[in-house]
Amino acid sequence: MTELIDFSAALIDPQAIKDAGYAGVIGYFSDSRPGADFGAKPLTREYCDRLRAIGLEIVTNYQYGKGATSDWRGGYDAGVRHAQIALAYHFAAGGPGFRPLYASIDSNPSLYEWNSLIAPFLRGWAAVVGLEWTGMYGNARCIDWALEDGVASWFWQHNWSGDPAINGDHPAAHIHQIRIDRDRVGGVVVDINKVLAEDYGQWSKAVSPGPQLWAPAPKPDYIELAQMGYSASSRQGARIVNFILHTQEGNGTAQSLANYLNNPRNGVSYHYTLRDRIVVDVVDTDLASWSVLDANPYTINLCFAGSRAAWSRADWLRIRDDIRIAAWLAVQDARKYGFDTYVIAPPYELREGITDHKYVTERLGIGTHTDVGPNFPWDVFAEDVRSFTVGGPVEPPPNAIDERAAVTPWLGDRITEGEIATPDGVGRFAQFEHGYIYWHPDTGAHAIPETLWEKFMAMRWETGPLGYPVTERTILIGPDGLPWGEVQGFQGGALYRRLSSPTAFWIHGVIRERWNRSGYENGPLGWPESDEIPWDTGAYQDFEHGRIYWTPSQTLGTVTVGGVDIPLRDAQAGEGQGR
């Protein structure tokens, strides 16, 4: 009988495992949970290489929380977050593609817990690693439920359900944990697992699907017109992570909508407009369009001219050619800028890929828009995207924090040993002598200088409205050619600090868009001198030479410059500017 061991307390010498007669290990590719310090979590590349060098097998498992803090208690969103971490550790340790990643249901849950939390958790997990590679550690009853719901494909059975009637080998199980905490190998307490299938998820069985037997579909037939204006802003170095679809809520053509967007006073723009197989390029994709407020720096935006969020599925399928063209454009931009072509359809998960404006509202918490509406044919669109792409194995991710530190000498010496997980379980950060580097898979790694840190900390770090940094800090040069101040972009806006001031100020949303169009700090308003201040039903923000007011209604605000009130068209007008 072939047996594996699993353990987390400490690393065991690989030769001791082999000498004890075991075929390999089920390794943990997760951090130690709070209050614990397991020496074998996560397994490293160096240790896995030693295991494989003497012929031992490795299976990937993930478990962070336990009991009241079990990973699955977070439902679908937790499944996405934890799978992203598991996948990163798996690849970092040299794990191959096309192998299962087991998620731990280290409990004997009720059917209610299964239906309300565990099944959604596994669906979130599968959204990241793929259903065909979703494994589950659980009791025999959970295996039955998982098969019934179609939420997992690989099963590691545990043997402590408390019900002897379900402790025998489950016919669908690949591995069965038969003994817990009763054996030692190399002085470390281990669990014993019986192998029940020839392929149970071991790394050595990984086989690439090989070259695709189909070629990407050809470019669809359409007319492309260049009609670019000045309704755009700098991306400030942000990495593009999402392609966003929009409706017009009007009856325009691609050209007439582009004409409207090209007037900066209208406060809205998209990179593309599309109707009747005519694509109009409105904003260069190297620049940010004015479509989704604080998500503008890291998105590309396309609007279906003449469309409405209230359309039925039949209405959408009447523009079938335009849907396919939108998929083509999204895939080409994903290849150009290096973001994922995954189609993020409702119910949305937080990740990079291709989605719509409602995702920005629901998952990013920015604005109130709900286009493209509930009847958009996501299945048709996703198949179009697939037809334009060619799959392939995922390459192991580099350590982005180390890479950023290597090109940011002003940070000084590293203080943090390794990296620290952020509360969302997805991001990481490290402290340096003169600042911090924060990393998230959606935003990359960016250094925050100590001069902006106090404000970032006061706003509850990445858990507050700023979110994660999306750009590097930029030193701004004044009219005299000398350093004047600094700015850094975040998911929820930007921090600006004049070098003569110890305080940084947060500017975001519609007020930020208005200030940007006035010329930033070089315009008539000058530098921000406060954060937004609540006023009536809206807010205002003070600047060196005036004030910007904002209200949520479609009314006019005012900007006071040099004592003169200047009418300000509400920046919410037009598509994509909902606050």
Instruction: Please tell me the predicted confidence (pLDDT) of residue 162.
Output: 60
Whether pLDDT at 323 is above 90: yes
568 exposure class (CB count in 10 Å sphere: 0-12, 13-18, 19+): middle
pLDDT given at position 391? 40
pLDDT tens digits, 448-503: 999 999 999 999 899 899 999 999 999 999 989 999 999 999 999 999 999 999 99
Q: What is the pLDDT of residues 2-39, one digit of tens each?
A: 999 999 999 999 999 999 999 999 999 999 887 778 88
Strand 493-498's sheet: what is its strand order? Answer: 474-477, 483-490, 493-498, 505-507
Cα four-point dihedral sign 317, 320, 326, 327: positive
Bridge partners (DSSP) of residue 564 are 561
pLDDT score, position 142: 94
**163-180 pLDDT, tens per residue?**
666 678 899 999 999 999
| pLDDT number for residue 418 | 73
Considering only residues 210 and 315, tell me which one the structure prediction assigns the higher pLDDT.
Answer: 315
436: Cβ–Cβ under 8 A, 6 or more apart, which residues? 429, 430, 447, 448, 453
Q: How many separate helices (H) and strands (E) can be counted in the chain? A: 14, 27
What are the boundaries of each domain within the chain?
3-205, 223-387, 407-568
Q: pLDDT digit string (tens) for 510-526?
A: 899 889 888 899 999 99
Residue in 500, 499, 442 with CA at minimum distance from that of residue 476: 499
Closest residue by Cα to residue 313 from 373, 273, 358, 371: 373
Number of Cβ within 10 Å of residue 247's Cβ equals 23
- The reply to whether domains 3-205 and 223-387 share a CATH topology is no
Quick count: other Cβ atoms within 10 Å of Cβ 34? 9
Residues 134/154, Cβ–Cβ less than 8 Å: yes
Q: What's the CATH fold of domain 223-387? A: Lysozyme-like (3.40.80)
DSSP states of 84-116: HHHHHHHHHTTPPSS--EEEE--S---HHHIII
Q: Give the pLDDT of residue 166.
A: 66
Tens of pLDDT, residues 361-388: 999 999 999 999 999 999 889 888 888 8
Per residue in 78-117, pLDDT tens?
Answer: 998 999 899 888 888 888 878 999 999 998 999 999 999 9
HEC secondary structure over 234-267: CCCCCCCCEEEEEECCCCCCHHHHHHHHCCHHHC
Across residues 202-223, what is the average pLDDT? 71
Confidence at residue 553, expressed as pLDDT on a 0 to 100 scale: 67
What distance in Å separates the CA atoms of residue 240 and residue 7, rounded to the nearest whole number?
40
Per-residue pLDDT at 404: 92
Residues 6+ apart with CB under 8 A from 279: 222, 223, 224, 225, 254, 272, 273, 325, 329
Confidence category of residue 428, pLDDT binned at 50, 70, 90: confident
Quickly list H helices, 420-484: 450-458
Question: For residue 536, what pLDDT is reported?
Answer: 82
CB atoms within 10 A of CB 76: 19
Q: Give percent above pLDDT 90 in the chain.
A: 65
Identity at 155, one-letter amino acid code: F
- The mean per-residue pLDDT over the stretch 124-138 comes to 89
Res 161: pLDDT: 61
Average pLDDT, the chain: 88
The tens digit of pLDDT for each residue in 240-259 reads 999 999 999 999 999 999 99
**DSSP line for 287-340:** SB-SSSGGGGGGEEEEEETT--TT--HHHHHTTHHHHHHHHHHHHHHHHHHT--
- In the numeric block, the tokens 């106090």 are attached to 454
CA distances from residue 326 to 112, 314, 332 in whole angstroms, order as listed: 41, 18, 10
Q: Does the structure show a pLDDT above 60 at 562?
A: no
**CA nearest to 498, candidates 462, 522, 465:** 522
Q: What is the 3-state secondary structure (H, E, C) of 364-378?
A: CCCCCCCCCCCCCCH
Q: What percent helix, strand, coil does the chain show, rounded to 5? A: 30, 25, 45
Identify the CATH assignment for 3-205 out of 3.20.20.80, 1.10.10.10, 3.40.50.720, 1.10.287.130. Answer: 3.20.20.80
State which amino acid sits at residue 234: S
List the end-to-end C-alpha distance of the chain, in Å, as a whole number: 63
Contact between 372 and 348 (Cβ < 8 Å): no
Closest CA to 447 of 473, 474, 417: 473
Q: Does 345 score more than 50 pLDDT?
A: yes
Res 421: pLDDT: 73
- Residue range 64-88: average pLDDT? 91
